[in-house]
Structure formats: structure tokens, C-alpha cells
Structure 1
Amino acid sequence: MSSLNKFIFKYLVYCPVLLIRREWIFGHLSRLKRSQYYSRKAIEQIQLEKLNRLLSHARQTAPYYKGLPADKLESLADLRNIPFLEKDTLRENAEQLYSNREGLKPRPKTTGGSTGAAVTLRKSAEGMAQELAATWRGYSWAGIDIGDKQARFWGVPHEKKDRLRAKLIDFVANRTRLSAFAFSESDFGKYLKNLEKFKPKYFYGYVSMIRQFAEYIESEGISPSIELVAIITTAEVLTQSDRETIERVFGCKVYNEYGCGEVGTIAHECEFGGLHLTSENILVELVDDNGNPVSSGEAGEIVVTDLVNYSMPLIRYKIRDYGEFSEKECTCGLSLPCLERVFGREYDYLVNSRGDRFHGEFFLYIVENLAKSGQTFRGVQFVQYPDLSIVVRLVGKNLDRDFLKDFFQQALTEKMKDVIDVSVELVREIEREHSGKLRVVKRISAPNH
């Protein structure tokens, strides 16, 4: 029955949608499955050729890049001579970054970004197809194929129109969605019943929620009748403790995924634990505070160039995460380079007086609605204190504090179904943690006595 279900969704639902959207992935997927075994030198040559084509296209069709050099780069190292693209620049100069070439069939993409302020961009249909192909290649390392049933521990949009769109996408992808935005132990019980009926082949979603679901099952002494092939975690740092807990409870391997909304998938974990970069689509640099390449074995800020998005070229884009390249050869046989670790991103969950939990991404949907009100801001942070009060910190110019207080007071009280004491602070910047992490949503626990 499961094989029939997979056949129906892969060939009669998913593939027709790809054709309609002109995002046919299978030629790209075949090439990626070959190139993952190419030598490092051959992969770097692919990157250089794609990079030069992208630079020429950007210079000729995107006003922001009209000052790019006309000469081809001789090596990937020459990319250092091109300025970085900052998130604020992308947000404030989006129109200048759009390509004016016709026929690219751009798709709009909106992401909260690591500072919480929304970033809206475009990606060409061809670029989306290559992004999807890289994603499915990464999933194949975990034993997952197109059409396999997925349980998605993810956000549910607040607006009705957006919720309907999410339901349609979930249907096409053969997945059920479990809200990570507001959940309690009673919700976990309902989720478990739904999953035992749906019988997913794999989980996908936020580390924190999947771990909390695992802890609920373990604490209740439940033996779930769910047979999973793999669990793919994303969007948050996966600790060794997270991995061990999730694998122990569900009896399958956890595979980490790293990416960002602006460029899509960046790296996927193989069965031997290597976090392999999608080097054919994305060029990744690590730089120090002065913008120089870090030395071998050192951590640095992650800078990406999307080699396949011609609708809105993102060249040397600083995504405000930090990482470290692996110096070891992965034993899996893939020649794609690996990240040793990624850090700089963390969302806590906040709670109401009943103990219901609200995942950090939940609050970014509220921020997206705020952006529609005309308030212009560059960053946001939610901090909850032991008395359950919430402070919202915003970075921006000419912000209306009274309007913002009323907005967040109403939105948080309504969405969290509780009377929440909300205050607003207008700040010059959102400070990072000592570890380098920038926490958009942060819960401060009461001190132990």
C-alpha cells in the first residue's frame, strides 16, 4: 500500500506540478548524483564556470551589479575583490538587485532572516528546480525519495489564505504538518495518534520540537507504532544530546540539514555524519571580522554566492551565521567538501501561564504581519522573563513605540491565548550571545537556588 501511495504522489501529483511550474528537476538531479563523486578540482572548475556566467549576467541585467568587472575571474580566489552583500542592503535595495531579463519566470520568496526582519526576494524557475534537485539528492543520502510520506514539524501560517496555500503544498509533497508554533503535552498526544494513522516514512523539522516530542513519548513510556527510515532536522543547531535523544526514542538515524531561506539548501548530512556542501549550486566562503578568509581549522562568518539564481543574483551574501570547514575527508566516498559545524542561530520557545509552548518561528509570522503595517525595521528580538512578561526589541528609524506596543500586546495576547505583559524597546542593534549566536527568540529561565 505504501509503495502505491508513493507512486501516486510522485508521478501523478508531484511531477505534474513540477511541469506546470516549469521546475523539472530530474535532469539536474541526475547530474548532481554524478558530480558528487567528481574530484575537488573538477567541482571547483564547475563553480568557476557558473560563477563567471552569473557575474556577467548580473552586470548586464541587475542595476545593483552594473559596476562588476567585465573580465572573467581566473580563479575562485578572485571573488574576494567583489564587495559583500549585506542583509540590510538586500532588504533596502531589492528592486536594484532584480534582473531585468525576461523569461526567467521568477518566484517570490519571503524569509524572516536571522535578525527577524523580513527579506523578500525572487528566484528563477530554473534556479528553483536546481535547488529542489539538490534537496532531493541530500534526502537520498538518508534513504528518502520523492513521494515518501513526511511528517513535518513546522510552522502554520496565521493568515487564512496562507494556511490554505500551505495545505495545498503539503498535499502535493505527501506530508502532514504538525504545528511547531503552539504545542502542549495534550497536543503531542494528538500528534502521535495522527502520525500512527498517517504512517510517515520520515520526520522533517525543527530540532527543538522533534526533541520535545521524543521526550514526551519517552516520559509517557509510549512505544509508538511508527517505523521511520530517517529524521531530518533543520533551522536550529543540532547538539549531540539532541541527536542521541531523538535517535534513541525513534530508533532511526538523524540527518542534519543546513540552509537559509534566501538561497535554500546549503549542506546535507550523509550517513557517516559529513555535512556536505551543495557546491555545484552554492559557493561558500568563511571570513573573519575584517572580511578576510579564515585560516584552516578556524571558524568564520558564512558568506554564500547562489550560482543558480538569475532572477535576483546574490553574490557574496552574508547570512549572519558562523561555521567551520572540516579538514577531514569523509568516509562516505562523496568528494563534496564538508562543514565541521555551524553556529550562530538559535530560537527558544516561549510559554504562556498554562505551560503551552510557542516555537520561535511563530513570532516571526507576527513580525511579517507587522511589516505590512508600514513600520520599517531592520531587526527584532523577543525576550521572555521568568514572570512570563515579554520584551520586544526593535531596530529601525522613525518607529512608533505606542503603535508597536499596542500591536504586540494585541497580537501576543490573541495568539498565545493569555494575558501577556508586553513592553517594547527601540534599540540600535540586537546583541549576539557570547557564543556568537544571534537569538531572535529568547527565554530567560529563573535562577536556581
Structure 2
Amino acid sequence: MLKIFDLSLKINGFPLREAKAQLAAILAIPEAAYPDFIHSKKQEIVAYHLQHNTFYKQLAGNYTTWENLPVMTKKVLQRPLSERLSIGNTRKNVYCNKTSGSSGTPFIFAKDKMTHALTWASNCYRFGWYGIDFNTSLQARFYGIPLDFFGNRKERFKDFLGHRYRFPIFDLSDTALEKLLQHFRNKPFDYINGYTSAIVQFAKFLERNDYILSAICPSLKVCIVTSEMLFASDRELLEKQFGIPVVNEYGASELDLIAFENPKGQWQVNTETLYVEILDDQDRVVPHGTEGRIVITSLFNTAHPFIRYDIGDIGALSVHSTPKKAILEKLVGRTNDFALLPSGKKVPGLAFYYVTKSIIEDSGMVKEFVIRQIAADRFEIDYVSTGLLQEAMIQKMELALTLYLEPGLHFDFIRKNSLNRTHRGKLKQFTSLLAK
């Protein structure tokens, strides 16, 4: 069989075969030798960019140790790409793309072609844990898509090469989801991949109509969710209504897959192409098991430095992590997704979402909702539902939030026909409009 996916990367100058061989060699490194491998790759990538990248040389200054290297933020990278590329790289000979902007700080990034091929090799390896082959396995894709003609056609062509069928997720009405379900009746999908919120809405539709997806589409093997938080209750719903395992993915387009749930249920960190640190507010490494800022180094990207790059997320590594097999124990959310309450208490915005979610969905009438902080003590909740929330439910919710958070908070409930998503289709569950 013609391997269209592999061939498309090769035609575009991405050496996937060589990248897979390099990844295999890294995977074969014994655990005892892995700290030396990581140390040498860290030193190599820093030395390379100090010699070939004026932007990074100015940023790093007179560093003496790894711990003295500056932590790069997304705001630092919001300058023309031409000023950030290493010598010998141009837009014509690298892979360029733009971050989604879900953090509020989008920017254009670049990877050399071998590094981009390594990204795909990493994807192939991890998806392979679940019997997925990008050349032959048909994907049901729950992602956004550009609405302009050329952007739309480009994504559709990439979907063809990637053996994917993309569903529009900007309309999640029952009518649209019924049409979507028809494709599962007619196409032998192997796996589902896409944004958590959209896939959860599809599962709720199946639940309302008493459908089990694996009975409708027996070829399905696994559902892989990404880009948004997966709550335990949502995982339970997905596994029940889909009838297949659910896998949690954590990645960043400018880097690679950062962590991917392995068959043992562990969120295994990509230690082959990335070096992940958890730092405190003073940029010091915290002990395993302690929450902190997730800071990542791309060990192979020679086109653009991502060295001690603060991705904007908060998380913790398991105490059982090793240099070769690190486990992401917790992913709390983005650093800009925290609410500062009148008492001075700082809590993850998802705490509001989680507590509210446990109550608001009991009625079965609310399809989805988002929370927005507009003042220290005031929040707006936009929701899509079949009817207005009753006063009794609102009071129940406010009591729960007082119990879990603090008293004196006020909530305004605003019913919407649909919720605003990013241009790529992501749903930002909590937003603070307060200056940090």
C-alpha cells in the first residue's frame, strides 16, 4: 500500500525515515546512560544558538551554568521571526507556523526540517501504542478549520494526506451532531482525535439519544483528546458512550508532544526530543511532586531557540519520574488562568469551572458553559442550554462556590445561543479580565 502520509512529508523535505531511525536510537539508550544523553544535548543546543543566533546570544548574556540561563517567555518571542532565526535559516528552508493564541500571546515559530520530522516521528511512535498508523488508520478529526476558501482547501488537502476526515465543530447543535453521526455509520474510523470540549459535546448527544458509538462504528480503537482539560467525569462519559479507551494528550505546536498517556494510564513525558523542568517563581527547580511552571527545552531545534521556554502552564512531575521515563502527575492550567479573590486567595480558574460543572450539568439542560472574571468578586457565566437556569440551581451553585472557595462572590448567568471559540475551534473554559 502507498504510504501517502510518509510520502507527503518526504516530498516537502521532512526526512521522516531518518527521524524515525534517530528516535529509535534515542529510545534504545539505557536508563543508566540517559542523564548523560540529556546533559550533552542540553549543552549542544545552547552552544549552537549562542554561536549562530544573535537574538539568543543577547538574551542569554554572560551565563555560566544551565540554571543561570534566562527563562524565555512568549512575550519575548513576539518580534519578527527573521530576528529570531539562527544563521543559515530563512522562511524558505524551515517549517513555519503560528501558535494558536489560546494563551493570549500568539507568535510565529520555526523548526528546522529534521526537527519537524522528529515531531512527526514522536507522534507516530506514541499513537502506535494504540495500534494507530497515520498511513492507514482513518481519523475522525474534531478540530477547527479556516473558513476562507484557500485556507479551507489547504487544510482539507492536509487531511487527505493524513488520512483524516474533519468535522466542523463551530456548530454543535443536535441537528449538526446527527449529521456527524451519520459519517460514523458510513466510514470505518479507527480513532477519534481533537479538542476535548467538542468531543465531550458529541458524547453528551450520544447519551441523550442512547447511542453507543462503538456499536455504530465497530472499527473504532481509541479516542485521543487534546488542547483542553479532560475532567474525570468527562472521561467517564466518553468511555461509556464511545465504548473505547480515552487517551489524554498534551502538546504544543511550537515544540512537540509534551506528554502522552501510555497504556498503563500514566501521562508519560516526551524525554526524547524535549527536556522538561518544573520551576518556582524564582526560576528554581522544584522537587518532584511539587507544582510549578512548566519550562521546556527543545533539544534538537537548530532553526529557532526554545531553551528554558516557559510554555505558560502549571504542573507537577511524579515522584516516581526518572530521566528517561518522566511522568506528568498533574496539569493545573495556564498561568493566566488563575483568579485572584478579594481575600487575596489565588485559585486556578478551573476550580470555578469544576465546582460549577458538577452542579450545572445535573439538570441535563445545560450543554456547555464558560466562566469569565470581570472583577475580584464578580464572575460572568455564559451558557448554552435548552432553557433558562432556575433560581434554585443558581443558589445551589453559589452555596457550593462559597464552600469550596470563599463567601461574597457574585455570579451573573448569561444564556447564549452558542459560545465563542478561537479561530481554531478551542473553547477557553475560564478567562480573567483583571490585570495580573
The TM-score normalised by the length of structure 1 is 0.71
- Give runs of ≥4 in structure 1 deviating > 6 Å: 355-360
Classify the secondary structure of the residue corresponding to 2:300: coil
Distance 1:213 1:261 in 2: 25
Alignment match, 1:206: 195
Correspondence for 2:333: 344
Helix, strand or coil for the counterpart of 1:285? Answer: strand
Q: Name which of 292, 297, 301 aligns with 2:289.
A: 297
Task: Report deviation, 1:31.
Answer: 4.2
Query: Is residue 188 from structure 1 mapped to residue 177 from structure 2 by the alignment?
Result: yes
Equivalent residues of 1:24, 1:129 under 8 A apart: yes
What are the residue-to-residue correspondences of 1:40-439 with 2, within 5 Å? 40-67=31-58, 68=60, 78-92=65-79, 94-102=81-89, 105-147=93-135, 148-224=137-213, 225-227=216-218, 228-328=220-320, 335-345=324-334, 385=382
C-alpha distance in 1, partners of 2:52/2:148? Answer: 35
Q: 1:335 to 1:356 in 2, by over 3 A?
A: same
Q: In terms of mean alpha carbon deviation, does 62-71 or 167-176 score higher? A: 62-71
Q: 1:202 to 1:163 in 2, by over 3 A?
A: same
5+ residue gaps, structure 1, are 1-6, 349-354, 361-381, 389-415, 422-438, 445-449
- Asked if the contact 1:183–1:356 (Cα under 8 Å) also holds between the matched residues in 2, the reply is no
Query: Which secondary structure state, in structure 2, belongs to the residue aligned with residue 208 of structure 1?
Result: helix
Change (3 A) 1:125 1:329: closer
Q: Partners in 1 of 2:75 and 2:321 — Cα distance?
A: 36
**How far, CA to CA, are the matches of 1:159 and 1:383 in structure 2?**
32
Work out the CA distance in 2 between the residues paired with 1:197 and 1:319. 40
Deviates more, 1:273-282 or 1:17-26: 17-26
Deviations 1:190-241 (A, max 9, x none): 1110122122100001111111111111210124411211111110111211
Aligned-pair CA distance for 1:188 = 0.8
CA distance in 2 between counterparts of 1:248 and 1:386 reads 25
Name 2:406's counterpart in structure 1.
Answer: none
Kept in 2, the 8 Å contact 1:325–1:338? The answer is yes
Query: Which structure carries more relative contact order (alpha carbon 8 Å, separation 6+)?
Result: 1
Pick closer, same or farther for the CA change 1:232–1:387 going to 2, 3 Å: closer
Q: Distance in 2 between matches of 1:179 and 1:341?
A: 31
2:23 — aligned with what? 32
SS in 1 for 2:211: coil
Q: 2:237 & 2:103 partners in 1: Cα distance? A: 29
Distance 1:240 1:387, change over 3 A: closer
Distance 1:238 1:386 in 2: 19
Contact kept in structure 2, 1:234 and 1:256, CA below 8 Å = yes
Residues 23 and 129 of structure 1 are in contact (CA less than 8 Å); yes or no, is this contact kept in structure 2? Answer: yes
Contact 1:46–1:280 (CA<8 Å) still a contact in 2? no
In structure 2, stretches of 5+ residues that fail to align are 338-349, 354-364, 371-378, 386-415, 421-426
Q: Deviations over 1:152-189 (max 9, x none)?
A: 11111132221111001000001101122232111110
Q: Is the partner of 1:121 in helix, strand or coil? A: strand
Amino acid at match of 1:101: G
Q: 1:164 to 1:40 in 2, by over 3 A?
A: same
- Please say if 1:16 is aligned against 2:16: no
% of aligned pairs identical? Answer: 27
Instruction: Rate the CA distance shift 1:231–1:223 in 2: closer, same or farther, 3 A.
Output: closer
Report how many aligned residue pairs link the two structures: 355
Alpha-carbon deviations, 1:290-348, whole Å to 9, x = none? 11111231011000111121111111111110111012369xxx952111121214899
Seen in structure 2, the aligned counterparts of structure 1 residues 23 and 49 have a Cα distance that, compared at 3 Å, is same
CA-based RMSD? 3.2
Contact kept, 8 Å, 2:289 with 2:329, in 1: the verdict is no
SS for the counterpart of 1:87 is coil
